């Protein structure tokens, strides 16, 4: 089955402009055209476009996505190199998760401190407001 741009957008969750951009950048290879010269997409194209969305979510740049596509087009022989690319992205995402978790931990700590101050359990202090005891 072949899908129009609009149908492809519905199936992939991409905006029309994004899908058109990806096509114009060469990120969707082998796109066919109908008798009116409109792009049409196969089921395989749709699956690849969904993969592009995932790669974008992995913080891949357009250049990186093109490099990854080039590797994919080389076939099975490029799998080890593709694994390296994905491993690098995985490490970057893990680092982001750690940074986000550190931020979440800080907010929990700060909210707990505020609750203790408001309940009278802890005396308020500030690192920003000078006190008499400061030098």
pLDDT at residue 133 is higher than 80: no
Asked if residue 58 lies in contact with residue 94, where contact means CB atoms within 8 angstroms, the answer is no
Longest pairwise C-alpha distance within the chain: 82
Asked if residue 38 lies in contact with residue 4, where contact means CB atoms within 8 angstroms, the answer is yes
| Cα–Cα distance measured from residue 10 to residue 7, given in angstroms and rounded to the nearest whole number | 5
Q: Between 43-57 and 62-73, two packed helices, what is the crossing angle to 10 degrees?
A: 140
Asked if residue 62 lies in contact with residue 29, where contact means CB atoms within 8 angstroms, the answer is no
pLDDT tens digits, 60-91: 999 999 999 999 999 999 999 999 999 999 99
Q: What is the pTM assigned to this prediction?
A: 0.80
What pLDDT sits at residue 132? 79
The per-residue b/e assignment along 39-52, b for 16 or more CB within 10 angstroms, e otherwise, is bbbeeebbebbeeb
What pLDDT sits at residue 18? 97
pLDDT tens digits, 40-61: 999 999 999 999 999 999 999 9
Mean model confidence pLDDT for the chain: 95
pLDDT at residue 16 is higher than 80: yes
What pLDDT sits at residue 92? 96
pLDDT at residue 39 is higher than 90: yes
The separation between CA 70 and the C-alpha centre of its own chain, rounded to angstroms, equals 20
Asked if residue 19 lies in contact with residue 5, where contact means CB atoms within 8 angstroms, the answer is yes
**pLDDT level of residue 135 (50, 70, 90 thresholds):** low
Which CATH fold topology does 5-73 show?
Multidrug-efflux Transporter Regulator; Chain: A; Domain 2 (1.10.1660)
pLDDT at residue 130 is higher than 90: no
User: Three-class SS of residue 41?
Assistant: strand
If you average pLDDT over residues 4-12, what whole number do you get?
97
If you average pLDDT over residues 116-123, what whole number do you get?
95
């Amino acid at each position: 089955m072949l899908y129009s741009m609009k149908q492809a957008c519905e199936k992939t969750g991409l905006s029309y402009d994004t899908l058109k951009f990806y096509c114009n950048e060469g990120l969707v290879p082998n796109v066919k055209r109908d008798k009116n010269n409109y792009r049409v997409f196969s089921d395989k194209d749709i699956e690849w476009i969904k993969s592009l969305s995932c790669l974008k979510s992995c913080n891949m740049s357009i250049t990186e996505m093109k490099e990854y596509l080039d590797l994919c087009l080389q076939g099975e022989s490029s799998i080890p190199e593709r694994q390296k690319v994905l491993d690098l992205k995985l490490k970057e995402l893990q680092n982001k998760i750690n940074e986000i978790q550190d931020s979440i931990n800080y907010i929990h700590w700060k909210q707990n401190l505020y609750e203790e101050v408001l309940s009278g359990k802890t005396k308020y202090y500030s690192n920003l407001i000078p006190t008499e005891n400061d030098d």
